[in-house]
Structure 1
Amino acid sequence: MSKRALLTMFFIVHLSRYFYIYPVKMIEATSAGHWEPIIVGFLVELCCVWIFLKGLSAFPEKDIVDICKMASGTWIARLLLIPLLVFLFLNLNITHSYEMESISIFLLPKTPTYFILLLYVIPLYIAWKGYEAISRGGIVVFICVLPMVIFSLISAMSNFDFDNLYPIYETRLSFFKRPMFYSAFFAHSGFLFLGWVKMKRQFSFRQAAPILGILLIFAISSVYVPMLIFGQESIIYFRYPNVLTSDTVDTEWVVFDWLPTFFVIAMIAISMVEMAVTFWMMATLIEKLFLKKKRGIAVLLVGVLSYSFSCYLDNIDTLAKFSVLNTFLCFYSIIGIPLAIILMSLRYRRNPA
């Protein structure tokens, strides 16, 4: 697989997480200077990516499961990676429950949720075919859909009220005291899939850092574009701020009858790729840790459990309960796993045999 394909997937996996839950959490985390918690999150991810890539570079052509098994044995590998598996499972179902709900609200209002969730079959099938199939689909989505997302954001600029930008910064940095700031870190876990991609030479931090810089622009846009239109006082009550932002565009000059539908379809296409990546990661963990060479069973197990759990997540209170657990597991995954990998790499470099 080429480095360009890998960087494209790195971009798509992150982008899929910025336009639904992430802006809501950032808006609730602070009432001023929203760019501050966004930048803090990206700085933390930069450090985690550097540590992760540094650790992975010691183990060419090995994935995260192979590394843990080789360095510490099967049982320790299970203890280390089961919390990561639970995080991937919770994060996928919690984040995409909002997207499936948006399909129900904006596209298929009369269709029951359990029918809409059958869309999981698409990413499950792609995950079963393997990472090469996912990356090919990701490149097609990147070429076709990214211009749609950019168009949706730029078309809303005519409605900006720059008075809503103030106050620009918040000197007390009170967002550190708010749980919503920490729960938004799920958006910074997209780099973890690099631990599943076997390459002779891992791509360097110098290649990943510019992509994160571009993603920072999209993350800031996902928060500030709706806020510059509606203002802090109004947007705090919105569940889908970016979808509603598309609805403010004067459609007389747009070839599409209803721009929010256009935006939702574009984001769902990107999310399908991200879901396929996550299903593939979970299936690989289950297969290598528990079911040797039974990939079909692992994929089927992931699909059935995800569908059942998503049907269970039927209200905001239930989502909130699991979001707290997901936050703790998220920090374990984005900080603990990279630290464990780099410690294993240091030990391996000292004793390569």
Structure 2
Amino acid sequence: MSNLQVSTTYILTHLGLIFFLYPSDVIDSTNEAQWLPVLTGFVFHLLIIFVYLKGLRYFQGESIVNILLRKNKIVAWAVLLPMLLYLSWIMIIAVRSFSEVISIAFLSNTPIWILILLLLLVPGFMTLHGKIGGLLRLSIMFSCLFVIPIVFVLATSFQNVDWHYLFPLWPGPRALHFLTHPSFYKSLFAYSGGFLLLGFLPSYTVYKPKAVFWGSLVILPSYLIAVYVPVLTLGEESARQLQFPYLFIVDTISINWLMFDRINVFLLLSLVAFCMFFIAATMFQILEIVRLGIKDISPNFLVPILITYSLIICLFIPDWKTVDLLFQWNTPLRLYVACVTPVVVLVIGWLHARKLKRELNST
């Protein structure tokens, strides 16, 4: 059961990140063969979780915070401080961007601060009262409630596609030009936003790495659909002009036999639930770093402080242009955390295994 919970948790934390900014970032990064940046990002994603899980396996049942602090304090904080900053940053960006999307989609008359507060209070309650065990169990319930609507929307979003826009399938001479485009590196947020959680779970549950890899393969079609449905429906040039291309396409779908006028209600409600789940998981990681690495303060105090701090910062972000700018500024920190953290954990794990082997041989 723990393998299933970890796998669904991993899937849900990523599904909430795919359908908003990711399609526009990938489309902006290349003029053709969008599958190449999608698969490149996915291979990068598989590589970092492989290295990360390989390192964690050297320390059975230990949190990444305990692993790092036990070995070397300087190295530990060279990893943990950027990680803490990154998690705080992406939580604020996620709250502010999702509140903007909700306001644009169907709550345009609701003050933005109410939506921000809602996206902080509900995950805060989930984190405070459910803790990680509650989040793992909640992932199963969310998957039962919302995955079927998501699959329904994904299937019906192909309603108006023109398969001629799929070509050329093979990129031209500048096939890897997207690697020089900032939008590609911004899109890696959809791959690296939730992998750190895997390092906090060993203290609470036992799971097999293959459960995570199966979960990654399950969400691969979502990455491709989120990018290709707008391209196949509107063409690459038109899709590039849209802020949320996939949401726009879903909003244009018409199904006569469905009682709802707008099918995007299914998608948005599901994604809001996944977003809250992602924010709750991020809060949990921040609390773990603070409590284990800095000072063991009760979550009853830490969660309200975190909510208040995040609310104030979110209110100082005036518009979507600033949100997008924050995503761009976050890119170097994101790449540092995504690349350095797995490598450091693997190296420490390897050295730990060598030390144990030497001690065993000496006895």
SS at match of 1:158: coil
Residues of 2 paired with 1:235 and 1:67: CA distance? Answer: 45
Structure 1 range deviating more: 208-217 or 103-112: 208-217
Superposed displacement of residue 174, structure 1: 1.1
- Return the match for 2:234 from 230, 237, 244: 230
TM-score, length-normalised on structure 1?
A: 0.94
Report if the CA contact (8 A) 1:20-1:98 is conserved. no
Counterpart of 2:317? 313
- Return the match for 2:293 from 289, 293, 307: 289
Report if the CA contact (8 A) 1:31-1:232 is conserved. yes
Superposed displacement of residue 225, structure 1: 1.4
Residues of 1 paired with 2:84 and 2:279: CA distance? Answer: 14
Counterpart of 1:59? 59
Alpha-carbon deviations, 1:43-70, whole Å to 9, x = none? 1111111111111011112101100111
Superposed displacement of residue 76, structure 1: 4.2
Superposed displacement of residue 95, structure 1: 3.4
Alpha-carbon deviations, 1:145-196, whole Å to 9, x = none? 0111111121122211112212223231210110000111111112210001
Report if the CA contact (8 A) 2:37-2:178 is conserved. yes
Matched to 2:180, the amino acid is K
Residue pairs, 1:172-191, within 5 angstroms? 172=174, 173-189=176-192, 190-191=194-195
Residues of 2 paired with 1:159 and 1:321: CA distance? Answer: 33
SS at match of 2:54: helix
Residues of 1 paired with 2:322 and 2:252: CA distance? Answer: 31
Superposed displacement of residue 88, structure 1: 1.2
- Structure 1: unaligned runs, 5 residues or longer: none
Superposed displacement of residue 96, structure 1: 3.8
Structure 1 residues 91 and 46, CA gap change in structure 2 (3 angstroms): same
Structure 1 range deviating more: 89-98 or 260-269: 89-98
Matched to 1:121, the amino acid is L
Residue pairs, 1:68-107, within 5 angstroms? 68-73=68-73, 76-107=75-106
Residues of 1 paired with 2:292 and 2:61: CA distance? Answer: 16
Residue pairs, 1:42-57, within 5 angstroms? 42-57=42-57
Alpha-carbon deviations, 1:93-117, whole Å to 9, x = none? 2234222112111221111111111
Residues of 1 paired with 2:206 and 2:33: CA distance? Answer: 36
Residue pairs, 1:201-280, within 5 angstroms? 203-280=207-284
- Structure 2: unaligned runs, 5 residues or longer: none
Structure 1 residues 202 and 57, CA gap change in structure 2 (3 angstroms): farther
Alpha-carbon deviations, 1:196-242, whole Å to 9, x = none? 10258853443322322221111001111122112112111111222
SS at match of 1:163: helix
Aligned length: 352
Report if the CA contact (8 A) 1:284-1:295 is conserved. no
Residues of 2 paired with 1:96 and 1:215: CA distance? Answer: 22
Matched to 1:240, the amino acid is F
Residues of 1 paired with 2:36 and 2:47: CA distance? Answer: 17
Counterpart of 2:35? 35
